[in-house]
Structure 1
Amino acid sequence: MSATTSPTAHWSYPTAIRFGAGRIAEVAEACAALGMTRPLLVTDAGLASLPITVRALEGLKGGGLDATLFSDVQPNPTEANLAAGIAAYRAGGHDGVVAFGGGSGLDLGKLIAFMQGQTRPVWDFEDIGDWWTRADAEAIAPIVAVPTTAGTGSEFGRAGVVTNSETHVKTIIFHPRMLPGIVICDPELTVGLPPILTAGTGMDAFIHSLEAYCSPHYHPMSQGIALEAMRLIKENLPRAHSDGKDIEARAHMMAASGMGAVAFQKGLGAIHALAHPVGALYDTHHGTTNACIMPAVLRFNRPAIEDRIDRLAAYLGIAGGFDGFLDYVTGLRAALGIPDSLTDMGVDGARLDEMAAMAADDPSCGGNPLPLDADILKGLYEACL
């Protein structure tokens, strides 16, 4: 292959990971390894009083760290939540963050660590071009990430999502140093996750890998990771959903979730572009929204991905190529109780034009196998109602 046709790309892979049941006991040690003495434990309001969070806070204090809790985090965090977190960080004289929870807690925790030392507004660091270079990198606090779901994979990400409370637009804020210094993946923390959230977060992880796998960008390492992540989810999500105490299935799901986040460095696509406005405007669960939208996008992208899906189906042991795979994912959705349509999730057709315009501006569009515009995206929304 000549130099003019050789592929080029920029690749980045994750951080130090402590994986296994019971590893939450190492949270204080992990913080100390990053130089923290006064960590701020950031989680969402729903987790704040649960035993897993109480134990994590006690583990920090028992390890000799002066830790406090911040939990003013809503399901789709806004700049107001971020401002409150930054105020708590500064008022407490903290020197690092433990981001604890699902995507909301993880993202906001990372954003607090990032923004507490910056002087510019958060919107100045949107994931556009080299905007991340505007940040004072030395002012970013260290982060330990502890996922309590198996879905977003935010623990392995260098970005956080924050919703603008005025425009209702979800914005991706990026900086390489937002990547946590240490990740603790303890599947025991997911045992209490209700079936409905196990389903939604698990489908989110599956779709991260599916969209990455279908993305036309060149990233063969992510391509391979996406394949294996989908195999793990196919074999273990139904088990985790039917028996939340199946620790082996929970562990494989936690691994697959992180793998999906690594894989989507290759790109996402129309599923995420369509889901983000729905979540911002109707406050729906992100992974469940993705799963609801998925079949319509697969059908739309079929001309560009059919051969690739044929290979995926063969790897997963699914007969029938593209059609067999489509039947499999729609059957999996039904088995997990995922709604058939956006209408079933409380979305009406009143804001389709607004949603389509928002989706067209979403950076996930750039990874879709076929070109997208507002008219196409509106048609896809209509197909999901």
Structure 2
Amino acid sequence: MAAKGETYQPAFPPSQKPHISTGIPFPLACAHHIQHTFHASKVYTIVSASISKTANFTALQEVLGEKIVGVRRGIKPHTPWEDVLEIVKEIRERGADVIVTLGAGSLTDGAKVISFALANDVFTVDDLEGITTEAKREDLKSCKIPVINIPTSLSGGEYSPFAGATDLRNNHKAQFRHPSMGADIIILDPALSVSTPERIWLSTGIRAVDHCVEGLCSLDSHANEESARAFAEGLRLLVPNLLLTRGNWESEEPRLKEMLGVVEAMKGLHE
């Protein structure tokens, strides 16, 4: 159910996961869906170390108030298994019933693996190894705890059902994949993204452009008209608006179009 003034719709219909929220500030959207969509009361937040020191995170904390039962400030690059297991332990101990991430990169991958680990009774490094794609288990359970992603880059990782996390015993970045993995709701707020460093915002945007170009030029037999349309729409939204953002960093309208361009790029990969 959408909040007043919010646009709320599935990213890849007819699939119901993930939904995208736009149109209202991210703290209000987050609070609304925690209460009315998930009926949750114990929120565990994973926030990037840099954003945790800003007014943006303060605003989220003020709206959620006592519902926040845990805060993790940052996950190290490449999502080490130790970080994942620490958060899994905290979520269990505190009885959290929803995960909210504010940031991108390792946080996004981390939340996917954490939710998957919680569903499959993972407690140790060996347990975690047992749910990687390399383990090829067929009895894995679907994620249960809902995840809300509030991204601050154009990387698009929140739209995919797979993630990477690093086993520091051998420095191998293992893959985790399951149809249930990934965000349930992705909140897109262009005002939030203004604080993202320019090199990260623009470079991840160009990576999304690369996805579209690669998809359109692919000779893969799985390519089809629907994916081609999505990739073309992604380019239409991304390219001119990245240029506009480069020229006027504070402007929010092109930023939202870039975010929606990433949705189209990922839709092309889903088709």
Cα–Cα, structure 1 residues 12 and 222, in superposed 2: closer, same or farther, change >3 Å? Answer: farther
C-alpha displacement of 1:245: 0.7
Cα–Cα, structure 1 residues 219 and 13, in superposed 2: closer, same or farther, change >3 Å? Answer: farther
Contact 1:222 1:263 in 2 (8 A): yes
Could you tell me which runs of 5 or more consecutive residues in structure 2 were left unpaired when the two chains were aligned.
1-13
TM-score of the aligned structures, taking structure 1 as reference length: 0.59
Match of 1:225 in 2: 230
Do structure 1's residue 163 and structure 2's residue 180 form an aligned pair?
Answer: no
1:66 aligned partner, one-letter code: I
**Alpha-carbon distance between aligned partners in 1 of 2:130 and 2:190, rounded to the nearest angstrom:** 36
C-alpha displacement of 1:79: 0.8
Cα–Cα, structure 1 residues 264 and 187, in superposed 2: closer, same or farther, change >3 Å? Answer: same
Contact 1:158 1:175 in 2 (8 A): yes
More strand, by proportion: 2
Q: Percent identity?
A: 21
Contact 1:97 1:110 in 2 (8 A): no
Cα–Cα, structure 1 residues 165 and 209, in superposed 2: closer, same or farther, change >3 Å? Answer: farther
C-alpha displacement of 1:106: 1.6
Cα–Cα, structure 1 residues 67 and 253, in superposed 2: closer, same or farther, change >3 Å? Answer: farther
Match of 2:9 in 1: none
**Alpha-carbon distance between aligned partners in 2 of 1:259 and 1:54, rounded to the nearest angstrom:** 31
Do structure 1's residue 112 and structure 2's residue 148 form an aligned pair?
Answer: no
**Alpha-carbon distance between aligned partners in 1 of 2:84 and 2:67, rounded to the nearest angstrom:** 23
Residue of structure 2 aligned with 1:26, choices 10, 26, 29: 29
Residue of structure 2 aligned with 1:124, choices 104, 120, 130: 130
Could you tell me which runs of 5 or more consecutive residues in structure 1 were left unpaired when the two chains were aligned.
1-10, 267-385
Cα–Cα, structure 1 residues 237 and 88, in superposed 2: closer, same or farther, change >3 Å? Answer: same
**Alpha-carbon distance between aligned partners in 2 of 1:180 and 1:107, rounded to the nearest angstrom:** 10
C-alpha displacement of 1:13: 7.3
Residue of structure 1 aligned with 2:242, choices 233, 237, 240: 237
**Alpha-carbon distance between aligned partners in 1 of 2:150 and 2:101, rounded to the nearest angstrom:** 6
- Specify the SS of the correspondent of 2:130: helix
Do structure 1's residue 135 and structure 2's residue 140 form an aligned pair?
Answer: yes
Residue of structure 2 aligned with 1:148, choices 141, 147, 152: 152
C-alpha displacement of 1:132: 6.8
- Specify the SS of the correspondent of 2:155: coil
Select the structure with the greater relative contact order (CA < 8 A; seq sep ≥ 6). Answer: 2
- Specify the SS of the correspondent of 1:134: coil
**Alpha-carbon distance between aligned partners in 2 of 1:13 and 1:28, rounded to the nearest angstrom:** 20
C-alpha displacement of 1:78: 1.3
1:146 aligned partner, one-letter code: I
1:301-351 per-residue CA deviation (whole Å, 9 max, x = no partner) reads xxxxxxxxxxxxxxxxxxxxxxxxxxxxxxxxxxxxxxxxxxxxxxxxxxx
- Specify the SS of the correspondent of 1:178: coil
C-alpha displacement of 1:163: 2.3
C-alpha displacement of 1:108: 1.0
More helix, by proportion: 1
Match of 2:253 in 1: 248
C-alpha displacement of 1:218: 3.0
- Specify the SS of the correspondent of 2:238: helix
Match of 1:181 in 2: 184
Match of 1:45 in 2: 49
Contact 1:132 1:174 in 2 (8 A): no
Cα–Cα, structure 1 residues 262 and 72, in superposed 2: closer, same or farther, change >3 Å? Answer: same
**Alpha-carbon distance between aligned partners in 1 of 2:270 and 2:204, rounded to the nearest angstrom:** 19
**Alpha-carbon distance between aligned partners in 2 of 1:171 and 1:31, rounded to the nearest angstrom:** 31
| Aligned residue runs from structure 1 range 352-363, under 5 A | none
Match of 2:82 in 1: 80
2:100 aligned partner, one-letter code: V
Q: Which of these two proteins has the greater Rg computed from alpha carbons?
A: 1
Over aligned residue pairs, what C-alpha RMSD do you find?
2.4
Cα–Cα, structure 1 residues 57 and 158, in superposed 2: closer, same or farther, change >3 Å? Answer: farther
